[in-house]
Amino acid sequence: MNKLSLKPSKPVSAGAGIGLVFMLIFGIGFAAVVGNVLQENDAPPLFSMLFFLVIIIWIGAVVFMMIYHFKNIKSKDGYSLFDISTESDNNKESGSSPMQVLKELENMRKEKLITEEEYNSKRKQIMDKEW
């Protein structure tokens, strides 16, 4: 099994960090302005609690992303966003078309690298395979 890792480059993380700083400032400013308006207008307590819950989630998500991108910039190899596992077939034929494999097999027979029996056996094996 092969493992592929998808991770942002260091410049992408730096750009994201700058954007996230602005998002954090916006979240704090928005919370202050709207919180003040809610308080002055005697908004229902449930509405105020819901608003501040959303703001806490907003700021928490921004801080989490900032930490991730900061660590990605500081680490040698970066931190992966996604890890993808792939299966690979170790047979030589897996990456080639059957026609290419048959041509290689024919060349091996012509150069006397394999016997006629080995050629016929391998050719039958390739032809019996689904492709």
3-state secondary structure of 86: strand
How confident is the model at residue 93, as a pLDDT?
43
User: Which position has the token pair 């229902």?
Assistant: 44
pLDDT at 23: 96
For residue 102, what are the contacts with CB-CB under 8 A and spacing of at least 6? Answer: 123, 126
Which residues of the chain are modeled with pLDDT < 70?
1, 82-83, 87-95, 130-131
Which residue matches tokens 């170790």?
90
Task: Determine the distance from the C-alpha atom of residue 128 to the mean position of all C-alpha atoms in its chain, rounded to a whole number.
Answer: 37
3-state helix, strand, coil in the chain (%, to 5): 70, 10, 25
pLDDT of residue 88: 58
Q: Are 81 and 8 in contact (CB under 8 A)?
A: yes
Q: What pLDDT is recorded for position 87?
A: 65
Indicate the pTM of the whole model: 0.57
pLDDT of residue 95: 58
pLDDT score at 77: 76
Are 38 and 51 in contact, with CB atoms under 8 Å apart?
yes
Give residue limits of the domains in the chain.
2-86, 92-128
| Residue pair 8/68 in contact by the 8 Å Cβ criterion | no
Q: Write out pLDDT tens, residues 36-65.
A: 999 999 999 999 999 999 999 999 999 999
CA atoms within 13 A on the CB side of 61: 8
pLDDT, position 75: 84
In this prediction, residue 11 carries a pLDDT of 87
